[in-house]
Amino acid sequence: MLDRNGVSRAIVTGTPPGHVRTLYNHAPVHIVPFLGAYRQPEEKETWHRDTTLPARIAAQLASGPWRGIGELHLFASERHSPVFRRLAKLAEQHDVPLLLHGDPAVIDSLYEHTPGVIVIWAHGGAYPWPPLIRDYLERYPGLYVDLSVREEPAVWDEIAAVAARLREIHAGRQPSEIDGLRPARELYRAFGMDFTRHRPSSEALLRRVLQGVAQGDHAAHAVPLGLEFGLIALSLAVAGAGIWLAGAIGVACGAGFYAIAAIGAVMSVLIVILLRAVERRARDPRWRRDR
């Protein structure tokens, strides 16, 4: 299959690593085997605390055909892990690359304690900005960067398809004529709230979807539409948190903790002001990268 598709070499890693060795035995000319650190998927989040891992990796490096170590996934908060440092030393000693998922802080920390290690930085740490990548390549001669960054086009395609269907279904209709929006409006009205001033989240999102047609090219609005989905989700989260916070302030007042209640009330107002500023800036086209 590899010959048929013109693939001369393939770096392969997997969980458990025995599968990679089996594949290598079948196609040693084509397969470049990397020694995976995980015996089961759950270890992706715990390997950096497994003090037995370095000895196990060392033994397999000594007896197998391995040409690299990884992949490893590490958050910045765990970058000082002794297990991680020991694996980096093993990679340096055996002169094999370390395939690593991590942000720039992980790379900086790695080269502080193991400056001679060769690293393949998977996906550029999800920070594929040319100035940053250039800076890191210049700083660390042993660093190689994989720039296969996933933008989840299928998600955007699905959002665009849903938006197009909604625009088709509700073309020419006012929000007051859309049955699906009435329950939220009635609920607002029951609580004495003016839904024309504070739109229900469902209505606010639908309005923005429908306005996309009037503003022109559908493709030009795919990313802003995604931004609107995110802002609505944030609004829902803040609304839920606000209910809990209001309850907590009420309990504090009832228990006589007036100072705590006052501090909570002030902080809630400041948070709302801050989030409102963030929302305005997010919707301002001058601050969007999708222009």
Task: Match domain 10-145 to its CATH number in 3.40.50.12780, 3.10.129.10, 3.40.718.10, 3.20.20.140.
Answer: 3.20.20.140
Most confidently modeled range among 79-88, 144-153, 173-182: 79-88
pLDDT tier at 155, thresholds 50, 70, 90? low
Least confident of 122-126, 194-198, 257-261: 194-198
Closest CA to 250 of 235, 262, 267: 262
What are the tens digits of pLDDT across the range 114-126? 999 999 999 888 8
pLDDT for residue 287: 46
What are the phi and psi torsion angles at 270 (to 5°)? -65, -40
Beta-strand relationship, 119-121 and 98-101: parallel
What are the tens digits of pLDDT across the range 198-232? 778 778 888 888 877 433 333 444 444 555 555 55
Domains of the chain, residue spans: 10-145, 153-287
Chain mean pLDDT for the chain? 81
Strand runs (DSSP E) across the chain, as ranges?
10-12, 31-35, 68-73, 98-101, 119-121, 143-145
Compute the distance between CA of residue 169 and CA of residue 167 in angstroms, rounded to an integer: 6
Residue range 145-150: average pLDDT?
A: 82
Whole-structure pTM value: 0.54
pLDDT tier at 69, thresholds 50, 70, 90? very high
pLDDT tier at 244, thresholds 50, 70, 90? low
pLDDT greater at residue 57 or residue 152:
57
Residue range 244-269: average pLDDT?
A: 80
pLDDT tier at 89, thresholds 50, 70, 90? very high
